[in-house]
């Protein structure tokens, strides 16, 4: 298999090569997805975190190195922990290098409910997200969105009935383990074009393990 192979549509780029994340700099790309396929040991450790008696809720601001050190002192010891720390460290380092970010904001959480259940756009330049356990983020291609119904304009109606979704068959979903960069409204020249996405609802009794990285400075 050629890991350098990329798949592009009119809005997204996908590849098993992490270098695909740099495609977020292409004007037409709102979503760059590294199809990372984490090792079984990472997936098992992520599942164990979700099955713990206490929810995980880590929020850290710092350099990529400082965040990695904080994670190493915060996550419980178990098989697969070292591999997960390496993977998260790689995500932090790539994000920092891509955007020359001196400080990052990390959130690593186990979630029983959808954090952002309505389709929306982020009012920031770019965000990294990866779901390490459970169902992953859903998004809509530009042709399937009626943007005038985003936010308060929807008057509290469900996305499926507000008029926001032009074609429900067009809803896309990331895979568990995918590492994605999502371009928001704050990206220069992207106002009115930010990626429309939402958090899916976990299955009853299940939890998701989700990492997000934001560009602080």
β-pairing, 12-15 vs 31-34, is parallel
| Closest CA relative to residue 145, chosen from 214, 181, 193 | 193
105 and 214 Cβ atoms separated by less than 8 Å: yes
pLDDT above 70 covers a percentage of the chain that reads 94
- Residue 2's pLDDT is 40
Stronger pLDDT, 7 or 127, i.e. the higher one: 127
User: What integer is the mean pLDDT of 149-161?
Assistant: 75
User: What integer is the mean pLDDT of 135-155?
Assistant: 86
C-alpha to C-alpha distance for 145 and 123, rounded to whole angstroms: 17
Structure tokens, 187 = 């990206």
- Residue 73's pLDDT is 96
Domains of the chain: 6-215 (2.60.120)
Q: How many CA atoms lie within 13 A of 144 on its CB side?
A: 19
- Residue 7's pLDDT is 55
């Amino acid at each position: 298999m050629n890991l350098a192979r990329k798949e592009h549509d009119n809005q997204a780029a996908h590849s098993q090569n992490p270098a695909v994340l740099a495609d977020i700099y292409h004007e037409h790309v709102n979503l760059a997805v590294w199809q990372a396929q984490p090792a079984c040991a990472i997936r098992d450790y992520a599942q164990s975190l979700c099955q713990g008696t206490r929810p995980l809720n880590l929020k850290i601001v710092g350099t990529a190195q400082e965040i990695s050190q904080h994670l190493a002192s915060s996550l419980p010891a178990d098989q697969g922990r070292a591999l997960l720390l390496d993977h998260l460290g790689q995500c932090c380092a790539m994000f920092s290098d891509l955007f020359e970010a001196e400080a990052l904001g990390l959130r690593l959480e186990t979630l029983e409910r959808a954090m952002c259940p309505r389709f929306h756009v982020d009012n920031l330049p770019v965000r990294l997200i990866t779901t390490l356990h459970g169902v992953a983020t859903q998004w809509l291609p530009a042709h399937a969105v009626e943007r005038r119904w985003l936010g308060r304009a929807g008057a509290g109606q469900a996305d499926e009935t507000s008029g926001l979704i032009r074609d429900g068959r067009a809803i896309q979903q990331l895979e568990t383990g995918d590492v994605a960069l999502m371009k928001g409204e704050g990206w220069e020249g992207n106002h009115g074009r930010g990626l429309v996405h939402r958090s899916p609802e976990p299955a009853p009794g299940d939890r998701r393990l989700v990492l997000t990285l934001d560009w602080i400075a």
